[in-house]
Amino acid sequence: MKKIIIFLIVILPLMIFFIIKSKPAPAPSPAAQPTLNKNSKQVKYPQDYTLVLVGDSMTQILGNCDELKADLKKYYPKKSFECLNYGFGSTNILSLQERLEKETFFERKFRPLTEIDFDVILVESFGHNPLSKYPLEEGLKKQTEALQEAFTTLKRTNPRAKILFMATIAPSIKKYGLGQVNLSAEKRGEWAREREAYIKNHINFAQTNNIPLINIYQKSLKDGDLNLDLVSSSDYIHPSPTGVYFISQEIADFLYNNKILR
């Protein structure tokens, strides 16, 4: 009798759990699949709003945008959201145009962004992957040229979409890369300031061209350096879980307060 009780209380629930976990996820319903917009010949997602994030690993870490979508639902409880994350780690601004115009592969295939009928695109600075092989002035010039080319392409291929720029969290002058890269304090500061220069150039481009800017960089500063609560203590580069929630909330707040989604 004791063995039967143990089986019913302990073993049977575990068996049921593993059987459920081993089942493949149900296929999405046909209504949830993207379709072809006959007017624009672009792929259209069925949700009310389709958002695209494009950047490097600072954007990649937002994953499927679960936090962002949850924050948006607070503002728009009756609306549905699709979030396409084109954040690819260890890529710089010179890869942006290819992401727009060509099929790219990063862990899986991504269709060209120009083939998607999205409502909003957030272009991150790629500042944490600077063009270090060039002198700073030349690298910043190439960044500006790449941003201009991308902006022109986006306006031409999806004129109704809202283009936003997003400056991500600041690099820490004192701790950037600590635990990940062996650098002297002086060199660590140089790395951080180089990345800061690219983020600020991104901000300047947005302001000069009247592009709406989500300035997370500015809000991430505390006493002249990065608020360390927002960054992972394993590398002092990428956002911590607190940082991910912070970035997501800043995006949602900006979209709502500036009436980007109508």
pLDDT at 27: 38
pLDDT at 91: 98
Angle between helices 185-208 and 136-157 (to 10 degrees): 40
Assess contact for 66 and 96: CB atoms under 8 A: no
> pLDDT, tens digit, for every residue of 70-102?
999 999 999 999 999 999 999 999 999 999 999
pLDDT at 262: 85
Beta strands in 168-250 (DSSP E): 213-215, 221-222, 225-226
Strand order from edge to edge, sheet including 213-215: 81-87, 49-55, 120-124, 162-167, 213-215
pLDDT at 101: 97
Q: Which residue has the tokens 């997501």?
A: 248
pLDDT at 32: 60
Q: List, in order of start, the domains of the chain with CATH numbers.
A: 34-257 (3.40.50.1110)
pLDDT at 24: 36
CA distance 37 to 69: 24
Write out residues in the chain with pLDDT < 50, as ranges: 2-31
CA distance 201 to 110: 28
pLDDT at 2: 46
pLDDT at 112: 98
CA distance 253 to 219: 13
pTM tops 0.95:
no
SS3 of 230-254: the string is HECCCCCCCECHHHHHHHHHHHHHH
